[in-house]
Amino acid sequence: EPEVTQTPSHQVTQMGQEVILRCVPISNHLYFYWYRQILGQKVEFLVSFYNNEISEKSEIFDDQFSVERPDGSNFTLKIRSTKLEDSAMYFCASSTQGRVNYGYTFGSGTRLTVV
Amino acid sequence: DQQVKQNSPSLSVQEGRISILNCDYTNSMFDYFLWYKKYPAEGPTFLISISSIKDKNEDGRFTVFLNKSAKHLSLHIVPSQPGDSAVYFCAASAGDQAGTALIFGKGTTLSVSS
């Protein structure tokens, strides 16, 4: 079964450093998403991306965050200057259609630890 | 601001019995609701969804009920199996347009014992 692949599975970075989280969505999917889950809290929406543009973003997704689809397969989330509170599990997701009721396919996540 | 609430952090059920997971929401603009299941070290997996124009949707052992007037939905798993042990997230969205954000609850950990 096709899956969303995220690398690395765990990343440790120093506060203030830039970090790039990578995702390879399912090949025929057109919509891409980033969510995050701080330990013990709910899964939170960050951003959605379609046709090389941001479709929707949350309040969390401020100027420190950016997304990019640099080629036909990868979808990245960049955090420019990491803070301790950015420590979380980051999930990439993709969908073949924009209809939420079909569900999105999530990757296994990247655990980001900011020290 | 918890727009989607799962008030029971955990639920324990015996194999073969019914599991009922509950979810409440506050935002009247939500019109699609979904349930996801999550195993440790994996991402959430889509289970079942329901539109606000329906009050029930069934898929095999999984049935979701929606009470729009009470802003409440529930997921029934019958019969429960040990492999169902996971964290279950309720999620909601306002519309089904491309890129719509899903708003998640905090999850309920289901443990099914054999």
Q: In the structure encoding, which two tokens stand for residue A79, read together?
A: 């955090």
- With an 8 Å Cβ cutoff, are A104 and B46 in contact? yes
Q: Is the pLDDT of residue B1 over 70?
A: no
Pairing of strands A110-114, B10-14: unpaired
Q: In the structure encoding, which two tokens stand for residue A61, read together?
A: 């997704």
What is the C-alpha to C-alpha distance for residues A24 and B81, in angstroms, rounded to an integer? 32
Q: Determine the length of chain B.
A: 114
Q: What sign does the CA torsion over B39, B44, B46, B49 have?
A: positive
Lowest mean pLDDT among A51-55, B21-25, B65-69: A51-55
Are B22 and B11 a contacting pair, CB within 8 Å? no
What is the C-alpha to C-alpha distance for residues A12 and A6, in angstroms, rounded to an integer? 15
Q: Could you tell me if A15 lies within 8 Å of chain B, comparing CB atoms?
A: no
- With an 8 Å Cβ cutoff, are A102 and B49 in contact? yes
Q: Could you tell me if B99 lies within 8 Å of chain A, comparing CB atoms?
A: yes
Q: Could you tell me if B51 lies within 8 Å of chain A, comparing CB atoms?
A: yes
pLDDT in tens, B71-96: 999 999 999 999 999 999 999 999 87
Q: Computed over its alpha carbons, how large is the radius of gyration of chain A?
A: 13
Q: Is the pLDDT of residue B2 over 90?
A: no
Name the percent of chain A lying above pLDDT 90: 76
- With an 8 Å Cβ cutoff, are A101 and B43 in contact? no
pLDDT in tens, B9-44: 999 999 999 999 999 999 999 989 999 999 988 899
What is the C-alpha to C-alpha distance for residues B34 and B101, in angstroms, rounded to an integer? 12
What is the C-alpha to C-alpha distance for residues B65 and B49, in angstroms, rounded to an integer? 10
pLDDT band of A33, cuts 50, 70, 90: very high
Amino acid identity at B5: K
Query: What's residue A60's pLDDT?
Result: 95
Nearest CA in chain B to A40: B106
pLDDT band of A18, cuts 50, 70, 90: very high
Q: Could you tell me if A43 lies within 8 Å of chain B, comparing CB atoms?
A: yes
